[in-house]
Amino acid sequence: MTAVIEDKGAAAPSALGVVPSFTVTLKIRRFNPEVSDEPTWEEYQVEAHGTDRILDALHKIKWEQDGSLTFRRSCAHGVCGSDAMRINGRNRLACKTLLKDVNPDKPITVEPIKGLPVVKDLVVDMEPFFASYREIMPFLITSGNEPTRERLQSAADHAKFDDTTKCILCAACTSSCPVFWTDGQYFGPAAIVNAHRFIFDSRDEGGQQRLDILNDKEGVWRCRTTFNCTEACPRGIQVTKAIQEVKQAMIRRAF
Amino acid sequence: MQTHQYDVVIVGAGGAGMRAALEASTDARTAVISKLYPTRSHTGAAQGGMAAALANVEEDNWEWHTFDTVKGGDYLVDQDAAEILAKEAIDAVLDLEKMGLPFNRTPEGRIDQRRFGGHTRSHGEAAVRRACYAADRTGHMILQTLYQNCVKQNVEFYNEFYVLDLLTDHDLTTEELPDGAEVNATGVVAYDLASGEIHVFQAKAIIFATGGAGKIFKTTSNAHTLTGDGMALAYRRGLPLEDMEFFQFHPTGLAGLGILLSEAARGEGGILRNADGERFMERYAPTIKDLAPRDIVARSMANEVREGRGAGPNKDYVLLDLTHLEPAHIDAKLPDITEFARTYLGVEPYTEPVPVYPTAHYAMGGVPTNVQGEVLRDSHNVVRGLYAAGEVACVSVHGSNRLGTNSLLDINVFGKRSGRAAAAYAKTVDAHLPLPADPAAAVVAQLEDMRSRPDGERVADLRRTLQETMDANAQVFRTGDSLAEAMATIKDLQKRYRNVSVQDKGKLFNTDLLEAIELGFLIDIAEVTVLAALNRKESRGGHYREDFPKRDDVNYMKHTMAYRRPPAASDVADGHIEGYFDHVENLDGYKVVLGSKTVTQTRYEPMERKY
């Protein structure tokens, strides 16, 4: 299809973002505990097209040069949350970052996200991340008899937590947080975002319990509003704002 | 090697697997084994909605929904199953709302509904608003909600475990069993990606919920991990695959990339146009136009391109026009897909039409089941203790073409049913049945062989060849010649597969090794897809043969059942296959026997399909 074919010099519409093919260098932080205890940096050169993403370049390396390069991926269009990594020092999804948008003239550095134990190459152990998520009771809590039909909710009430329902649990936010880097016990932005999603849901009755959990010394008060999380979120969630709303709810005990 | 015992083991943690887990785990000791973290499953990529005749915004009922499903599937749908799907849809949506799913709301606070392809009122009069939705991330919200409830219920997960074998007490690939003979599923063998260790799971009941196989094609909306694992494991164990020739090509994939843009874009008023700006669907489906079922829209688009009316420098795509919609409306109803257009093609949907072309999307066929989710080993005998639900399964509620929003429905209705049935069955079994001696031997040998081969061909080279031949020869338009060409390539790939090698020889997190194993699944699924397509000399739903452009109810109003058998086995598989399609394909070391299964008709006589 046209969109991935390189520009043949014809008057291709700019709309398609057709860019000629180019060579790009990726500098990847490799780690394999079966080989060495120390990580190393390795450089790879790849031929890329205008619509190629970092994930395409990683696949080209794995499929054509070095099969041992290890990373997670699945959907390849930014909805499954598998391939968060540190690209040129910023947390991004590899499948949502176009090579042409990260200055392909210079080597692009790719590292695993920070603050979680590295398993192999770009793969980290996600268990501590999911453990924090599970701790904030990420499910609807209600009491009394269930209604026969749906619970009613106004569009305005729905809008209060709509933004935080977008979270794909990729850990880009949590692993961009300087507090999380130095204190792995901190719940981290993703867990708070998911608490927000329920605290501000008009159907939920577990807000108080979640606020008590997050009032812990490893809870929301650790947030220093550096906004790294908001910048890192590939879903555009206003993460810092959500954390502030949880803090305010804690003070006012109103939500 | 580690061995585990559970009452119920569920393979796959997408929508169907987790919906089943929520049922089974309340009643039986249950484990869910998934090759991904549950929230990474491809249910999360579904966008537009989930159908249910709630009648929240206009008159609707489950009978109309049943009819639309049957007609949409070009009458190859089992009508008893479609009726269950449409009736139980209402509770399925309400269940999810009560679990917390944040549906979009009407001004009265009820679940909002919108239009979708092929869903109509009064048997085709006009489009009806039946799709319940959460913006254009309905699948994401279903997956999150089901996972949240699994956390609430303390469901036990084995994440990043690849199931590589199904254990049964009879070898169906070689034994010829009499009608009614009992066959039991006894467990599965899994590979722990993180450690490279083998785990054997012994279970009284097993549910396959492993999803689809879109990666047999190059241009696909499917995840890299959708490699048909569950289908291929069943097929290799001698179980049939049903209706594999029917693959859905979603009309609106981002041109050149295949990334899905929901049909909701057209449900919300988007229009398909050719290079001349013409709303060409008016010619192909005068009544419901852009909201015709996907097979018709995809074919119409491909036809526009073939006849020279495609847009773009190479005239090889059409345009999805949203520019007449209010930006605020787009932001509220279609935020994700418009962002995909911006991110991946640099197109601003507020002001520019989006280049689109059909993309391989959904396998209508799969492991045959009855309406309880029990897996069939031929046209009517079940495998005791084995269930399947979701895209891996073929009930068949989708027939030869699935309607949009019916798959999110399918996973919920039949996930729930199979979860309940599996737990109930497990309770009737006193003790676990014995496993074969050394149950993991085949998997261990397969992995060791692959790991220790000398340098051979690359997995990626074979996979690319497979995907390119499938796109070129078995896509929207097919002919006997094109399919024969695909089959020749697949036969060659089956041979070359024996010489592929991996570079990563390690134990830990060896994705190189698993990609090689997954390639084997893909080649097997492509083989059965193409053979079934060659054999069906008619056009119906998603399967369009240019050499046989008409539907042929006299010869082909029946489900295809494909069996892999050793060369020495009788051609009638296990001796009692219903009147079959007269086709046996001999391959290197085995053969594929194509049998059939009757289509269940209840209320609706097949009619010509017009929209």
DSSP of B282-300: HHH-TTTGGGS-HHHHHHH
Asked if A16 and B144 come within 8 Å (Cβ–Cβ), the reply is: no
Tell me whether B466 touches chain A (CB under 8 Å).
no
- Residue A170's nearest CA partner among A75, A33, A245, A49 is A75
The nearest CA of chain A is from the CA of B44 a distance in Å of: 7
Nearest CA to CA, how far is A223 from chain B (Å)?
Answer: 25
Beta pairing class for B354-363 and B318-321: antiparallel
Pairing of strands B558-565, B578-587: unpaired
Per the DSSP assignment, residues forming a β-bridge with B158 are B33
| Touching A: B residues 286-325, CB under 8 Å | 312-314, 316-317
The answer to whether the CB of B227 falls within 8 A of the CB of B518 is yes
Residues in contact with B564: Cβ distance below 8 Å, sequence separation at least 6, in sequence order: B173, B235, B236, B238, B524, B528, B590, B591, B592
Q: Provide the shortest C-alpha distance from residue A72 to chain B (in Å).
A: 9
pTM as predicted: 0.96
Whether residue B156 lies within 8 A of chain A, CB to CB, comes out as: no
Using omega within 30 degrees of 0 as the cis cutoff, is the peptide bond preceding B396 cis? yes
Compute the nearest-CA separation of A208 from chain B (Å): 17
B459:A63 CB<8 A: yes
- The interface predicted TM-score (ipTM) is 0.96
Q: In this structure, which amino acid lies at residue A235? A: R
- CA-wise closest residue to B100 among A171, A235, A164, A254: A164
Q: Which residues make beta-bridge pairs with A156? A: none
Q: What is the mean pLDDT of each run of 10 residues along chain B (611 residues)?
A: 97 98 97 98 97 98 98 98 98 98 98 97 97 98 98 98 97 85 97 98 98 98 98 96 98 96 96 98 96 97 97 96 97 95 96 98 98 95 98 98 98 98 98 96 97 95 98 97 98 97 97 98 98 96 97 95 86 52 80 92 96 93
Measured between beta carbons, which residues in chain A are less than 8 angstroms from residue B359? none
Backbone phi and psi for residue B252, each to the nearest 5 degrees, phi listed first:
-110, 80
Residue B346 in contact with partner chain A when CB distance is under 8 A: yes
Q: B474: Cβ–Cβ under 8 A, 6 or more apart, which residues?
A: B247, B482, B483, B486, B526, B529, B530, B533
* pLDDT of amino acid B551: 97
User: Which chain B residues are Cβ-neighbours of A64 within 8 angstroms?
Assistant: 458, 460
| pLDDT on residue B578 | 53
| pLDDT confidence of residue B179 | 87
Beta bridge partner(s), residue B367: B393
Q: Which of B36, B39, B460 sits opposite A64 (nearest CB)?
A: B460
**If we measure between CA atoms, which residue out of B436, B211, B254 comes closest to residue B341?**
B254
Q: Which residue has the tokens 């204190």?
A: A183
> What are the 10-residue block averages of pLDDT along chain A, 255 residues in total?
41 48 96 97 95 97 98 98 98 97 95 98 97 97 95 97 98 97 93 98 97 92 95 98 96 77
Put simply, whether A5 touches B (Cβ < 8 Å) is yes
A-contacting residues in B 160-189 (Cβ below 8 Å):
none
Helix orientation angle between B79-99 and B62-72, rounded to the nearest 10 degrees = 120
CB B173 within 8 A of CB B564: yes
**Residues near A36 by beta carbon (within 8 Å), at least 6 away in sequence:** none
Alpha carbon distances (Å) from A121 to A96, A250, B509, B568: 20, 40, 10, 48
Structural contact between residues B322 and B265, judged by C-beta atoms closer than 8 angstroms: yes
Across the interface, which of A3, A80, A203 has its CB nearest the CB of B40? A80
Q: Do residue B507 and residue A17 have CB atoms under 8 angstroms apart? A: no
Residue B211: closest CA among B55, B46, B369, B362:
B362
Q: Does A158 touch chain B (CB under 8 A)?
A: yes
Radius of gyration of chain B (CA): 23
Nearest Cβ partner for A3 among B42, B135, B355: B355
B37 to chain A: nearest residue by CA?
A: A82
Partner-chain residue, chosen from A35, A138, A167, that has the shortest CB–CB distance to B151: A138
Q: Look up residue A49 and give its two tokens.
A: 């097209």
Cα A151 to Cα A141, A154, B234: the distances in Å are 13, 10, 41
The confidence score (pLDDT) of residue B249 equals: 98
A128 touches A174 (CB < 8 A): no
Residue B393's H or E segment, with its range, is strand B393-394
- A136/B1 Cα distance (integer angstroms): 35
pLDDT at A1: 46
CA-closest candidate to residue B330, choices B269, B409, B392: B269
Residue with tokens 């002001």: B351
DSSP string across B26-50: TTS-EEEEESS-GGGSGGGG--S-E
Contact state of A201 with B352 under an 8 Å Cβ cutoff: no
When CB atoms are compared, the residue of B134, B314, B512 closest to A2 is B314
- Extract the tokens encoding B2: 């580690």
* CB < 8 Å from A in window 237-266 of B: 254-257, 259-260
Structure confidence at residue B588 (pLDDT): 85
Distance CA(A97)–CA(A86), nearest Å, equals 11
Residues of B with a known catalytic role: 294
pLDDT single digits (tens) B133-149 = 999 999 999 999 999 99
B152 touches chain A (CB under 8 A): yes
The CB-side HSE value for A41 (13 A sphere, CA atoms) comes to 9
Cβ of residue A139 closer than 8 Å to a chain B Cβ: yes
CA angle A59, A63, A66 (to 5 degrees): 100
* Cβ-defined contact of A168 to B140 (cutoff 8 Å): yes
Contact A139 B103 (CB under 8 A): no
B411-470: pLDDT as tens digits: 999 999 999 999 999 999 999 999 999 999 999 999 999 999 999 999 999 999 999 999
Predicted pLDDT at A253: 74
State the residue for tokens 């901190």.
A186
Among candidate residues B106, B30, B109, B47, the one with its CA nearest the CA of residue B387: B30
Residues of chain B contacting residue A46, judged by C-beta atoms under 8 Å apart: none
pLDDT reported for residue B574 = 45
Q: Is residue B568 packed enough to be buried (19+ CB in 10 Å), middle (13-18) or exposed (0-12)?
A: exposed
Separation of alpha carbons B418 and A193, rounded Å: 34
Distance CA A99, CA A79 (A): 19
